[in-house]
Amino acid sequence: MVHGRDRELRVIGHFATDLDPTVLVVRGLSGIGKTATVLQALKQVGAGSSAVRVVRPCSPRPSAHDLDNSRRIDLAAWSVPDDPEHDFDFDAAGFLRAVSAWAGDGASGPRVLFVDDVGVLTPARARWLQRLADEAYGQDWRVIAAVHSIAVEPLSDDVEVLELGPLDRNSLRRVLDMELSAPVAADVVEHLRWWSAGNPRLALELAGSLSTAELRGDASWAGPDAVGSAARRAYRAMLAGLDPATMTALAAAPLGGASPARRDGRTTVRHPLLALLCREARGADGPADREHPAVDLDVAGLRAAAGILDGLHLDELPARAWAVVAATPDPRLAARAVGVSLMTGRAWMDHVDGPLVPDGVGPEWTDHLWWRDPAAVGAEARAAGGRVAATLLRLEGSGELPHPGALRADLRLLGPTPGQDWVGVDLRVRALLMLGDVVGARGLLADHSGATSERTVAEIVARDLAAARVASFDGRAVDVRAHLAHAAELRPSVDEWLPARGMRAAADAVVDGTVPASTMPAQAGSWSARVLGEYAADLGAAHLVVGQAEGAVALLTIALEHCAWPYRGRVQVRCDLVEAVLASTSPGKVGPRAQRLLEPPVAPEERTAPDVAAAHSRLGALLADDGTPSAAFEAALHAPQAPMSPWQRVRMLVAYGRYAVTRGGRATGNAMLDEARTLVRLAGMAGWLRGIDTFLAEADATGGADPEWEVLGGHEREMVRLAVHGATNSQIAQATFVSERTVVNRLRQAYATLGIRDRRDLVRLAETRPPAWLVSS
């Protein structure tokens, strides 16, 4: 079914249900979708059981079918004579009686006779169609005919012509997605649309000759080398009507696969496949293409390699991109290779401790990583750009950042420079985020939010990845999915890149509560240490959202071991790890492996943004040493000078609730978790509901209702601590400077609060589910 013809569908539907005695002629090239469009329109107006489709009316054996093509009758006695010199006797009444009898009297809906496959509407066929329409109107039938072209002018006033034009890009994409098993890249769809002139059958014929890599944009495709059978049928009549001069001009026209809007004033062709047919018809005697003079082979190789990287045709690259750079040691090519490798996360560099690029490239390659025209940039900024490139390349293999302050200063020097490349902007956005500077990252995105019409595929994808990273840092999961979907529309292989897979897994967990299906990355062994660490951090965050704390601990520990500076920032990833540990282990038991990862301090510069400051406050509350986290959490909830985002408040409420429930404060924890439930529904983060429910179910399964340890006041806690350690009431009274009767009353209140009967129950409860403040004593 051909989509995207809303206007044409409305016109055909209106005609089928109208009362005017006219004929509707639907005209368009072969393969443009005339039959599918008419059938769809008739079914939409309820003519499914009352409409009849006449097939091959101009052949010796025409036939009639229902719209589902499940029944058929032979109409050979009423075939269409095609003799323009003589009139003929046509029993239109007999034709209609035969069709009506076959259709049956019980059919409901408008009675429409759809005469398909008329081809060229010659004078003889026009007279035949007019007689049929005159008789049909008298018997309450409407007539629609599908023709390739019209050879008789003017037509009768009783004939309306609907020109079926080409499909737009979105409509053609839906057709391709429905018919093909592989996703099609957006720019490939545009190429197919230009070459097919929006004809769906021709586009499908062209797509059928492409490899999966070419359809996905992983390998380049500029256009066909030969015309297929569907195109020959579509343009047969048009080709036959061309005079020699026009055919020669079409054969000489340039036929690049570029969009019609970007032909730079050169001669253009409405139907490029028609021009290719002219070129084939001229054969070897046709004019040579003088648009592209001969170029040096090295220059041609450089252009080809640069085009591969700019277009992200990554299947055309060798296993190591450095082999391309080494073969053509050009600074611009080296910058493209480095930028694409850092953006995608592929480990294309053999030795991070060796030279940054192959011999012969020179140090100026880093200029082209950040700017389109480095000549317009000052020497100080260019020097800073070289240092940033070296730092990011070292980070790629080691996951470490020895001098974050120096990187922060160099990034500030790059900030206001003109003419920046979007691949470089994406790398800088990631660097700012890992330093905790989300404000700087947002500002960098805003400064480069202009049109992308002149950008390469790599730059457009880089812009979406940068925006997705900032949205992921901010907890805007819906925006993460939108940016990744836009990038994957242009290059479907983006979905297989480890950075995109991790961000999508975390976003799906927040929005839908989707559990990550697998931790096995595609193309295992091809990814850098930094990207593996960030991927594990994203998966760990996803597991934490859906309540799988133990899995989150393992993933987040691996994440910080591989990359201590992930794009989510050290504060947030460390906080996730602590929260996962405390939600999955007994109180006070943080494993030594995880504890070691939390020891390096976090500089104040890394937590200046309100959300990062909130996460740091949450981290401090989770690691409170005094065993009374309520005050620390309350301060974390209300202390930030600037208001935290809904995302961070949900994180705070869930962490507080889990902490309280795990340590016996079920009433306090439930209140926090209930507030979190309300907020996630309002903020479109319903995935957290799954994690909250999972946590509470596990808490109930491990011992029913938890004791309300956190409700006890300071004096009651001291008395409970002494009682658990065997002190008598008299000894407790002496130690706390109160009367023995007061001790008895307060212990009795504590028993009621904890849901137990006596001191024996208290000792048993303290042994099985102790609070942190009791364990620390």
Check residue 264 and give its pLDDT: 41
Check residue 754 and give its pLDDT: 79
Q: Which residues contact 629 (CB under 8 A, 6 or more apart)?
A: 621, 622, 656, 659, 660, 663, 772
- Whether 676 has a pLDDT exceeding 70, the answer reads yes
Average pLDDT over the chain, rounded to an integer? 81
Check residue 507 and give its pLDDT: 95
- Which of 78-82, 89-93, 514-518 is most confident? 514-518
User: Which single residue is written with the structure tokens 């999508």?
Assistant: 504
Range scoring the smallest mean pLDDT among 283-287, 431-435, 672-676: 283-287
Task: Assign 348 a pLDDT band (cuts: 50, 70, 90).
Answer: low
Are 460 and 452 contacting, i.e. CB atoms less than 8 angstroms apart?
A: yes
666-675 own/partner pairs: CB under 8 Å, 24+ apart: 666/705, 666/706, 666/707, 666/708, 667/708, 667/711, 668/630, 668/710, 668/711
- Phi, psi dihedral angles at 618 (to 5 degrees): -65, -40
Range scoring the smallest mean pLDDT among 55-59, 258-262, 708-712, 738-742: 258-262
Q: What is the mean pLDDT of residues 629-658?
A: 77
Helices in 399-528 by DSSP H: which ranges?
404-414, 422-434, 438-447, 457-474, 477-490, 498-512
Q: Which residues contact 587 (CB under 8 A, 6 or more apart)?
A: 662, 663, 770, 771, 772, 775
Q: Would you give the distance in Å from CA 724 to the centre of its chain?
A: 57
Q: What is the mean pLDDT of residues 141-151?
A: 86
Check residue 526 and give its pLDDT: 80
Check residue 258 and give its pLDDT: 43
Distance in angstroms (rounded) separating the CA atoms of residues 144 and 50: 14
Q: What is the mean pLDDT of residues 258-266?
A: 40
Report percent pLDDT > 90 for the chain: 25
Q: Would you give the distance in Å from CA 269 to the centre of its chain?
A: 34
Distance in angstroms (rounded) separating the CA atoms of residues 544 and 521: 19
In 3-state terms, what secondary structure has residue 527? strand
Are 73 and 42 contacting, i.e. CB atoms less than 8 angstroms apart?
A: no
Distance in angstroms (rounded) separating the CA atoms of residues 711 and 717: 10
DSSP for 274-288 reads: HHHHHHHHHGGGSPP
Check residue 776 and give its pLDDT: 62
User: Residue 129 has which token pair?
Assistant: 């169609």
Q: What is the mean pLDDT of residues 208-223?
A: 91
What are the angstrom distances between the C-alpha of 99 and each of 19, 93, 131, 305?
A: 20, 10, 15, 63
Check residue 356 and give its pLDDT: 67
- Whether 8 has a pLDDT exceeding 80, the answer reads yes
User: Which single residue is written with the structure tokens 């008298």?
Assistant: 138
CA 658, 661, 662, 663 torsion-angle sign: positive
Longest Cα–Cα distance in the chain: 128
Are 272 and 278 contacting, i.e. CB atoms less than 8 angstroms apart?
A: no
Q: Which residues contact 714 (CB under 8 A, 6 or more apart)?
A: none
- Whether 588 has a pLDDT exceeding 90, the answer reads no
- Whether 415 has a pLDDT exceeding 70, the answer reads yes
More confident residue, 625 or 440: 440
Task: Assign 260 a pLDDT band (cuts: 50, 70, 90).
Answer: very low
Check residue 301 and give its pLDDT: 61
The sheet carrying 52-55 orders its strands as 72-74, 63-65, 52-55, 112-121, 142-150, 23-27, 159-163
- Whether 277 has a pLDDT exceeding 70, the answer reads yes
More confident residue, 576 or 106: 576
Range scoring the smallest mean pLDDT among 158-162, 284-288, 597-601: 284-288
Distance in angstroms (rounded) separating the CA atoms of residues 312 and 493: 9
Check residue 756 and give its pLDDT: 79
pLDDT digits 0-9 by tens, 429-467: 999 999 999 999 999 988 876 655 668 999 999 999 999
Distance in angstroms (rounded) separating the CA atoms of residues 477 and 499: 15
Check residue 565 and give its pLDDT: 93
Q: What is the mean pLDDT of residues 62-83?
A: 69
Strands 159-163 and 112-121, how do they pair? unpaired
Distance in angstroms (rounded) separating the CA atoms of residues 700 and 693: 11
Are 467 and 483 contacting, i.e. CB atoms less than 8 angstroms apart?
A: yes
- Whether 535 has a pLDDT exceeding 80, the answer reads yes
Nearest to 213 by CA among 241, 190, 194, 185: 185
User: Which single residue is written with the structure tokens 């208290």?
Assistant: 762
- Whether 31 has a pLDDT exceeding 80, the answer reads yes
User: Which single residue is written with the structure tokens 């120096």?
Assistant: 406
Task: Assign 293 a pLDDT band (cuts: 50, 70, 90).
Answer: very low
In 3-state terms, what secondary structure has residue 243? coil
Distance in angstroms (rounded) separating the CA atoms of residues 76 and 85: 22
- Whether 123 has a pLDDT exceeding 70, the answer reads yes
Distance in angstroms (rounded) separating the CA atoms of residues 261 and 575: 51
Are 276 and 268 contacting, i.e. CB atoms less than 8 angstroms apart?
A: no
Q: Which residues contact 632 (CB under 8 A, 6 or more apart)?
A: 620, 621, 624
- Whether 25 has a pLDDT exceeding 80, the answer reads yes
Check residue 381 and give its pLDDT: 93
Are 414 and 440 contacting, i.e. CB atoms less than 8 angstroms apart?
A: no
Distance in angstroms (rounded) separating the CA atoms of residues 658 and 547: 10
Q: What is the pTM of this model?
A: 0.80
Q: Which residues contact 605 (CB under 8 A, 6 or more apart)?
A: 404, 405, 408, 435, 436, 437
Are 112 and 50 contacting, i.e. CB atoms less than 8 angstroms apart?
A: yes
- Whether 550 has a pLDDT exceeding 60, the answer reads yes
- Whether 149 has a pLDDT exceeding 90, the answer reads no
DSSP code for 99:
H
Are 196 and 260 contacting, i.e. CB atoms less than 8 angstroms apart?
A: no
More confident residue, 772 or 52: 52
Task: Assign 343 a pLDDT band (cuts: 50, 70, 90).
Answer: very high
